[in-house]
Amino acid sequence: MKHIIYKGNSLERIKELEDNSIHLTITSPPYFNAKDYHKEDVNIGNNINYLDYLDKIETLLKDIYIKTVEGGYICWNTSPVIDNGKRYGIPFDTHQLFIKLGFEFLEDIVRVPDNRTEKGLVAFASICSSCK
Ligand SMILES: C[S@@+](CC[C@H](N)C(=O)[O-])C[C@H]1O[C@@H](n2cnc3c(N)ncnc32)[C@H](O)[C@@H]1O
C-alpha cells in the first residue's frame, strides 16, 4: 500500500483525491477564531464571523463526505470557544452539519484535561460514519 501526504490548503487539496477513497479522517480543525493564524487567507481559523467559519467547515465536510467510502469514518476534534466575550458551541453546530450531509453519529468522546491551564478547555471528539 502506498501512502501520500498532501501538503497545503485542505479545502483545495482534498479535490485531488478520488471519490469514495477515504476510509478514515481524523482531524482537529481550527476552533473558529480561537488562535491567531497571522491573517493567512486560506486558514479556516481566520473568519469574518462565526457563520463564515461554519460555511468553511461545511464546504470541507461536503468534500470529505464525497471522498469517503460508504461506512468510512470521521473523527472530528473540537471544542466550544470564547471569542470577544461570546461563547460559541462549535461541537453542537458542526454536529448538525454532519447529520445534514449524511453522516451517521456513532460516538462522542469528551476530554477534560487534569491540568486546566488551557482556560478550562473541554475538547469533544465526534465520531461519525458515512452512509450513502
Ligand atoms: C487546532 S489546530 C490542530 C493542530 C494539529 N493537531 C497539530 O498537532 O499540529 C488546526 C490546524 O489546522 C491548520 N489549518 C487551518 N486551515 C487549514 C486549511 N485550510 N488547510 C490545512 N490546514 C489548515 C491550522 O494552521 C492549524 O495548524
Does ligand 1 lie within 6 Å of residue 77's CB atom? no
37 lines ligand 1 (CB under 6 A): yes
Decide if 44 contacts 56 (C-beta within 8 A): yes
Give me the residues of the chain with pLDDT under 70, please: 114-122
The CA-atom distances, in angstroms, between 33 and each of 37, 79, 115 are 9, 12, 23
Q: pTM score, two decimals?
A: 0.91
10 lines ligand 1 (CB under 6 A): yes
Task: For residue 13, give the ligand 1 atom closest to its CA.
Answer: 20
Q: What is the pLDDT of residue 77?
A: 92
- Tell me the pairing of strands 22-27 and 68-78: parallel
Phi and psi at residue 5, in whole multiples of 5°? -105, 125
* Angstrom distance (rounded) from CA 6 to CA 9: 9
Q: Is the CB of 34 under 6 A from ligand 1?
A: no
| Cell numbers linked to 79 | 471544542
Element (H, E) at 106: strand 103-111
Q: Answer yes or no: CATH 3.40.50.150 is held by domain 10-130.
A: yes
Query: Domain residues of the chain, as ranges?
Result: 10-130
Query: Ligand 1: distance of its center to the CA of 118 in Å?
Result: 18
Closest residue to atom 19 of ligand 1, CA basis? 9
Render pLDDT for 8-21 as a digit per residue (tens, 0 to 9): 999 999 999 999 99
